[in-house]
């Protein structure tokens, strides 16, 4: 039987180059790329080779090792990371946030509220958080409520800070919140209202590097981020999360993630919601 030849690739990706790239990404960003991600690596980074006029991945690896390749690491991470998000994704998390933030503010136990969206992607998560807490506190509330939103991908941070989205992407926002906090720009684009934007600080942050903020935070959302890390990195990361979360504070993770054999400093209290216990 005649077999069609495999399509010829534009660039040569040798095994040693693939291993070099995966090592760089693991050491610098904590992201694990196994052999199943080879096609993704090739596809995403081929764009960088074209932009730099390189003919092979070996040239790209040499450039990353050079003194002039430091800025390229940022672009490499931007290319490799997958940003899948949406407004009010996993609604039960926002129901939980409404309940606990309302109780905290009403009880007087908290004069201020601090929330971190760690891995904010293009901004839908922190905007959903800010809308939820603002509604829970009440429009005339004098409470000090701030949301920190960070991501390793600088392009995503810029998109998030702009706060403009295709109008169809804002459909999952509950209607009462959409009427109050989303403004139409034109027939296809909508923008998050200044009242919500002003609650959020957006910054680029590599979770593996030192954190400039001191906390403590009342809630940390880190959803669909640790799926890229190995067990050792997860253990270190959640120990740091516990340190910066106030005692009794809450950690919210993604629907396919859990802290089993990762950390003993949290207890599971709901669907992918944990509370700091030590």
Residue positions annotated with a catalytic role? 44, 151
Closest by CA position to 163, among listed 213, 198, 132: 198
φ and ψ of 255, to 5 deg? -65, -25
φ and ψ of 32, to 5 deg? -95, 120
207 touches 236 (CB < 8 A) = no
d(CA 73, CA 64): 7
d(CA 234, CA 130): 27
C-alpha of 181 from chain center = 22
d(CA 194, CA 198): 6
d(CA 255, CA 258): 8
- Tell me which residue has tokens 């940022």: 74
d(CA 166, CA 159): 12
């Amino acid at each position: 039987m005649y077999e069609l030849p495999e399509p010829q690739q534009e660039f040569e990706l040798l095994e040693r180059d693939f291993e070099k790239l995966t090592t760089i990404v693991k050491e610098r960003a904590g992201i694990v790329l196994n052999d199943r991600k080879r096609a993704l690596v090739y596809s995403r980074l081929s764009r960088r080779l074209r932009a730099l006029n390189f003919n092979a991945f070996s040239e790209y690896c040499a450039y990353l090792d050079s003194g002039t390749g430091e800025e390229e690491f940022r672009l490499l991470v931007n290319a490799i990371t997958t940003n899948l998000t949406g407004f009010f994704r996993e609604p039960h998390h926002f129901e939980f946030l409404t309940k606990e933030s309302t109780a905290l503010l009403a009880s007087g136990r908290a004069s201020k509220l601090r929330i971190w969206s760690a891995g904010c992607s293009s901004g839908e998560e922190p905007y959903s958080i800010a809308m939820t807490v603002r509604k829970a506190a009440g429009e005339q509330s004098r409470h000090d409520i701030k949301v920190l939103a960070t991501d390793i991908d600088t392009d995503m941070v810029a998109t998030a800070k702009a706060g403009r989205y295709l109008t169809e992407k804002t459909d999952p926002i509950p209607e009462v919140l959409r009427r109050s906090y989303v403004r139409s720009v034109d027939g296809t684009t909508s923008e998050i209202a200044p009242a919500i934007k002003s609650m959020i600080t957006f910054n680029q942050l590599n979770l593996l590097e030192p954190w400039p903020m001191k906390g403590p935070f009342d809630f940390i959302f880190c959803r669909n981020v640790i799926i890229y890390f190995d067990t050792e990195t997860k253990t270190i990361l959640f120990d740091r999360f516990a340190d910066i979360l106030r005692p009794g504070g809450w950690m919210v993770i993604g629907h396919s993630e859990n802290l089993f054999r990762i950390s003993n400093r949290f207890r599971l209290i709901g669907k992918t919601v944990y509370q700091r216990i030590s």
